[in-house]
Structure 1
Amino acid sequence: MLAVLMAATIVAAAEPPPGLALDWTAPPGCPDEAEVYARVIRRTGQEAADRASLTARATVREAAPGRWALTLELTGATGGGRRELSAPRCDELVEAAALVVAIAVDPRAALAGGAGVVPAPPPDVAPGAGAGEQGANDMSQGAGPSEQMVKDMSEGPRAGPDAPDEMEAPVADPPPPPAARPAPAEKPRRVQLGLRAAAGVSFARLLPRPSAAVSLALSLSGKRWRAELGGLYAPPVTGGTAAIGGLFQAGAVELRGCPVLRRGAVEVPLCVGLQFGAMEGRGRGTDLVTTTTARSPWLAATVGAAVAWRPRGRVGLWLGADAIAALLRPSFVTAGGVKVHEAARFGGQVLVGVEVQLR
């Protein structure tokens, strides 16, 4: 068996400290060191691991797409050695590594508890202190997937001048549980209520010049959709000339509907909306005999996209950009018929803010 051969290639080295010491390095997505140690203990028992004089150092890496490689170094009371193994899945390498380490600790207990096959311990590596030597003569003949895995692991590289130094031994999948229950159906995403506050710049020329913009919006969202009701305000800016001009500000209510793309903590709403509100202008200038305040209605369609990122908890960040097409354009003229300002037909806005999930 490969596991036995890997444990049997130990050469003379310094004696490590007593007890099983495991140094495990693997990329994200592979089982961690605690899981590997737990698998070894399940095969040998904690008492055997505590009596052992063995240090195991293992490194897992992705050798190629869909192919994982394991480098395992064992240092025992009688020596040390190194082997390499590859498999299509990281978990298969983890199971193989746990089996090899368990055999080095206590071969009889390791295989008797795992696959019903109890091979002889490695000839050149003494198992952990206190491990029974009678495992060398015990061999069960039971067949099964785990036995085949151990058999495949034991074959090693073929002899010959062209035999490779590295071993790529297939690791069989573990048998399915006898009465596996079907996975529970994924619960549908419940409707969530959110509140967003944002600020930015409006370059729609709704006002005479680009201006600041602030917004507040309530949202209802599901797994693939979002609906919003919000308010938008642009603070006063000046327009016209010093002789004939005015001070202009605007506010609008906005309705938006959005299909949503999601990936992990990031979502991308793609929205269309409708803005309706009004602009207020207050005249001022050296050539104006009287100054008055007037209001003109505003109606526009919007289309835009945003990126929302909520790494954890209820609070997330929001960045959105919208193009605006005016359907009803506010216009302001003096009593003498001089046009002071008329909203542009097209423009846009960019807003950055924070969104809080209320429920």
Structure 2
Amino acid sequence: MPLRSIFAGLLAAAQVPEPLPPASGAAIQWRSPASCPDRGALLRGIETRLGRSLRPGELGVDGVVTVHATPPLYRLTLRLRAGGPEERRTLAAATCAALTDATAVLAASAVAARAPGDPLVGQANAPAVPEPTGARPHGKPPGATPASGEPEGAGEPAGASTSPGEAVEEVTPSEPPAQNDPPVADREPGPADAPVSVPQTVEERALEPVEPAPPPDEPARRRALGGFVRVQGGPEYGALPGITGAVGLAAGLLWRRARLEVQGVWLAPRTADRAQGEVRASLAAAAIQGCARLGRGRVEVPVCGGLELGGMRGGARGVPDARTTTGLWLAVVAGAGVAVRLGARWSLTGALQLAGTLVGPDFQVIDPGPAVRLFAPAPVTGRLLVGVEVRLGDPR
């Protein structure tokens, strides 16, 4: 006996489900997280509300409590049998203790409904079972016990029990009819023949059947479209003489798997020094690009492609009759980058862009003598751009 007490104390301290049935002999299975009341607390709650100890074989309970990430946090799948058909319920609550109390109320109500002579409540703070009035079948007085060979619960009105597998309210049987009342089959049914619902506790009234939570990425709960603005800059090589700096502003639209952006860029002036003279050139252009949004979570990898149109302005120095002119710039732009989310709206971005020149200016000295090229853009130019992006709603 001392060993059994020590073992029971260790189990209670570890807050694990008890593997053995309770001392009353009731078949109670209760599986719940370690922070929840255990099976012993459930049994005490049932017997407190019933006002007596459970008899062997009088009650069967099988409950499983699970924890979920979204409210309600605790959800209970319950199977209950008290001498009749099995009932199944699914309940949810913000606390695990509320589910334990609700199970105790349901179990005590079911036992009391099967044994009208036993009170449902033995304490002042437990709900009372209403006593319906109406016809009493078979002429049995109130409180009469079943005759020898007659099964317990005979003469209960239809609807006083539940169908297997249905989640409905528990009901209590009607009282036996008075001696002078006609048989049930010889009279019209009245309101008193309707099943009587067991009163609910405050905790049970707060519980609601669990509806399957929608997936986090359900299309109906997502924004269909978002937007962004990005400021960026970095080194550029090939479009102007030598290495220069590029600054730009981009804005566009966001979908779950794609983005469309308009990007403006300006390349700082650079000078090409030749024996015939020098030319100083700069570039201003705008591009429209479509991008695929790869990656998930905090890291996104946009892969983009589009067209860039602009003007390259150049002016010669040290050349007779030099003048400043602006030439057409048209290029195919392709690139890949990475965006790391720093918050709900902010991202740090980096991208490598390549531009293939389709149309570009050619700065030459043509007088006196044959034409001499001072500068022309490279067939392929490259930019490494780093920036900060603000997202105005993101459907991902």
Q: TM-score range by the shorter chain?
A: 0.5 to 0.7
- Where do 1:1-359 residues align within 5 Å? 8=8, 10=10, 72=14, 95-99=32-36, 102-103=37-38, 108-111=40-43, 142-146=59-63, 174=77, 176-177=90-91, 178=167, 179-184=209-214, 185=218, 186-203=220-237, 205-241=238-274, 243-285=276-318, 288-336=319-367, 337-358=371-392
Q: Structure 2 vs 1, CA of residues 7 and 320 (structure 1 numbering), >3 Å: closer, same or farther?
A: farther
Gap runs ≥5 in structure 1 = 12-53, 57-71, 75-81, 84-93, 119-130, 150-172
Separation in structure 2 between the aligned mates of residue 6 and residue 252 of structure 1, nearest angstrom: 82
CA distance in 1, matches of 2:7, 2:383: 67
Tell which has more relative contact order, 1 or 2 (C-alpha 8 A, sep 6+): 1
Percent same amino acid among aligned pairs?
29
Secondary structure of the 2:293 match is strand
Aligned partner letter, 1:209? G
Report the CA distance shift for 1:9/1:109 in structure 2 as closer, same or farther (over 3 A): closer
8 Å Cα contact 1:224-1:262 kept in structure 2: no
CA distance in 2, matches of 1:6, 1:108: 16
1:130-183 deviations in Å (ceiling 9; x for gaps): x9xx99988775435438x9xxxxxxxxxxxxxxxxxxxxxxx94554544243
Three-state SS of the structure 1 residue aligned to 2:41 is helix
- Judge conservation of contact 1:194–1:355 (CA < 8 Å) in 2: yes
> Is the 8 Å Cα contact of residues 276 and 365 (structure 2) preserved in structure 1?
no
By how many angstroms is 1:98 displaced?
Answer: 2.8
The residue identity in structure 2 corresponding to 1:303 is A
1: CA distance, partners of 2:349 / 2:221 = 27
Give the secondary-structure state (helix, strand or coil) at the position aligned to 1:109: helix
CA distance, structure 1, for counterparts of residue 366 and residue 263 of structure 2: 35
Contact 1:329 1:344 in 2 (8 A): no
The aligned amino acid for 1:230 is Q
* Unaligned residue ranges in structure 2 (runs of 5+): 18-30, 67-75, 79-89, 92-166, 168-208
User: Per the alignment, in what secondary structure is the counterpart of residue 321 of structure 2?
Assistant: coil
Runs of 4+, deviation exceeding 3 Å: 4-7, 110-113, 134-145, 173-180, 182-186
Alignment-mate amino acid for residue 146 of structure 1: G
Distance in structure 1 (CA, Å) of the matches to 2:58 and 2:275: 102
User: Conserved in 2, the CA contact under 8 Å of 1:235 and 1:250?
Assistant: yes
CA RMSD of aligned residues (A): 3.8
Q: Cα offset for 1:343?
A: 0.8
Say whether the 8 Å CA contact 1:252–1:275 is kept in structure 2.
yes
Change (3 A) 1:6 1:240: farther
Q: Highest Rg: 1 or 2? A: 2
